[in-house]
């Protein structure tokens, strides 16, 4: 579903299809609903992504988190590339920044990392140019344009629509939130089934 189709659906369901200038208000409420969902305790499979574009040069001790990073999941993490290994993506261990800093690990092959703000700190500092892979949950991004690529609108459009309806139609917010909760429950069941079927994203060594 495209953004403008969702906006039209919200207009019709809430009886506000004739109010001029309402589209922008609905769009903003959709973005707020999406933000709320992406801060939820459990995130859906369709936000899980892989970034193989992370690189540092020798003696560079940090790199920026990928745009849209939310958090690691149970399958997520940071991996260092090692061409000499049969399985070249070596998982790195995450620890507290202060604890790693106190160890004075110097330069070498990075084995640990810490996250502060939007920065990944590597320990030891890489002595050579190094590539990394990150598996993480990524935000679906802005609804500023009318595209069909926003994952929430592709895989869970009714959830976004019901949550936005609750925001623009507060007199019936209980109705909309009840429908949204039903959608969330269905999405959770789908997630459980994907686990059972073993079809969650698998990372295969190149």
* Nearest-5° Cα angle at 59, 53 to 65: 35
CA distance 21 to 164: 16
**CB 130, CB 55: distance < 8 Å:** yes
pLDDT tens, residue by residue, 46-89: 999 999 999 999 999 999 999 999 999 877 899 999 999 888 99
The CA-based angle 158-159-164, given to 5 degrees, is 95
- Res 188 pLDDT > 80: no
Residue-level pLDDT at 203: 46
The closest alpha carbon to 141, from 62, 49, 63, belongs to 49
Calpha distance 154→5 (Å, rounded): 12
pLDDT at 31 over 60: yes
pLDDT in tens, 113-142: 999 999 999 999 999 999 999 999 999 999
Question: What is the residue extent of each domain of the chain?
Answer: 3-44+144-197, 46-137
Q: How far apart are CA 184 and CA 43, in angstroms?
A: 11
Q: Which long-range contacts (CB under 8 A, 24 or more apart) does 32-37 make?
A: 32/167, 33/160, 33/163, 33/164, 33/167, 34/140, 34/143, 34/152, 34/160, 36/163, 37/152, 37/159, 37/160, 37/163
**Under a CB-based contact definition with an 8 Å cutoff, are residues 109 and 116 in contact?**
no
Please report the pLDDT score of residue 204 as a whole number. Answer: 42
| Other Cβ atoms closer than 10 A to 103 | 11
Residues 6+ apart with CB under 8 A from 29: 164, 167, 168
> Which helix (H) or strand (E) element contains residue 83?
none
**Mean pLDDT estimate for the chain:** 89
pLDDT range class, residue 206, cuts 50, 70, 90: very low
Q: What is the mean pLDDT of residues 189-203?
A: 54
């Amino acid at each position: 579903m495209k953004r403008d189709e969702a906006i039209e659906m919200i207009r019709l369901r809430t009886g506000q299809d004739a109010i001029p200038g309402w589209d922008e208000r609905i769009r903003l409420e959709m973005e707020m609903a999406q933000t709320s969902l992406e801060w939820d305790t459990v995130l859906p499979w369709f936000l899980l992504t892989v970034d193989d574009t992370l690189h540092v040069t020798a003696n560079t001790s940090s790199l920026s988190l990928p745009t849209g990073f939310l958090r690691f999941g149970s399958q997520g993490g940071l991996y260092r590339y090692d061409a000499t290994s049969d399985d070249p993506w070596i998982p790195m261990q995450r620890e507290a920044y202060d604890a790693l800093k106190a160890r004075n690990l110097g330069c070498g092959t990075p084995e640990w990392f810490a996250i502060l703000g939007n920065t990944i700190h590597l320990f030891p500092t890489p002595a050579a140019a190094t590539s990394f892979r990150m598996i993480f949950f990524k935000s679906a991004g802005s609804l500023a344009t009318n595209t069909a690529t926003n994952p929430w609108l592709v895989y869970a459009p009714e959830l976004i629509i019901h949550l936005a309806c609750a925001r623009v139609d507060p007199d019936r917010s209980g109705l909309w939130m009840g429908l949204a909760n039903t959608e969330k429950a269905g999405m959770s069941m789908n997630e459980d089934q994907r686990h059972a079927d073993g079809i969650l994203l698998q990372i295969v060594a190149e």
